[in-house]
Amino acid sequence: MSGEPIPAPPGPWCPDPMRQQRADYTVEDLLNLPDDAPRVELVDGIIQVTPSPTLGHQDISFLVRLWLHSHAPSDLRVTQAVCVGFGFNTSRQPDVLLYRAEVPSDRSMLRPADVVLAVEIVSPGTRRIDRFAKPGEYAAAGIPFYWRIEQDPVHVYAYRVGDRVGPGGERQYELVADGADVIELTEPFEIKLPIAEITP
């Protein structure tokens, strides 16, 4: 019998601690993550593992995608949880995205100019990010429309980039509509969304 230790199988993927300290991850690194990597976002060169969504979150996300797919004009497409790159060292994964139809289908990362609407469904673990950080980043990058959807009860807040400018000179979102019964908008297309249709 050999006294050699049995090698332990490798554990799940996690970010390299040294690279995290140096904050030198890039969006290119995200495109080369292994298949077993968790869902991540990249903020200023630091990989952030995003919390696993709840079933309720996923149900709302699916219903929003289905509704947009059924109602959006043909020059727009809808998808879920695809990365949007903001420069070389930051990317986010909105829960639902409405993007321009001419974007090639083999792309695994979108540019802000490709995106018309970013949707975030707020969960307990992502409240501050979805309410403050992400809309600031999306507006500054030029994504024209943002929806924040609160749960329990489902309530939609619809924003568009306005004329207001932040302290750093970046454009900011302004609230154009909100509701727990129905949302009516003229942009990015004529929308009359009964909230019951996206409520699980």
> Tell me, what's the pLDDT at 4?
58
Q: 182: domain CATH number?
A: 3.90.1570.10
Tell me the average pLDDT of the chain.
92
Q: Is the pLDDT of residue 9 over 60?
A: no
Is the domain of 44 the same as that of 60?
no
Is the domain of 39 the same as that of 63?
no
Is the domain of 45 the same as that of 80?
no
At a CB cut-off of 8 Å and minimum separation 6, what does 32 contact? none
pLDDT interval class at 8 (50, 70, 90)? very low
Which single residue is written with the structure tokens 């990362």? Answer: 109
Residue 3 lies in a domain: no
Q: Do 152 and 179 touch, CB atoms closer than 8 A?
A: no
- The boundaries of the domain holding residue 177 are 55-198
d(CA 106, CA 117): 20
Is the domain of 169 the same as that of 194?
yes
The secondary structure of residue 51, as a DSSP letter, is P
Is the domain of 86 the same as that of 106?
yes
Is the domain of 66 the same as that of 158?
yes
Work out the percent of the chain whose per-residue pLDDT is above 90.
Answer: 76
Is the domain of 45 the same as that of 139?
no
d(CA 190, CA 50): 33
Residue 7 lies in a domain: no
* Total tally of structural domains belonging to the chain: 2
Q: What is the pTM of this model?
A: 0.90
Q: How far is CA 96 from CA 67, 104, 117, 179, in A?
A: 11, 18, 8, 19
Q: Give the model confidence (pLDDT) of 60-93 as tens digits.
A: 999 999 999 999 999 999 999 899 999 999 999 9
At a CB cut-off of 8 Å and minimum separation 6, what does 45 contact? 22, 23, 24, 25, 26, 89, 90
Is the domain of 138 the same as that of 187?
yes
Work out the average pLDDT over 49-64.
Answer: 93
Residue 88 lies in a domain: yes
> Tell me, what's the pLDDT at 146?
98
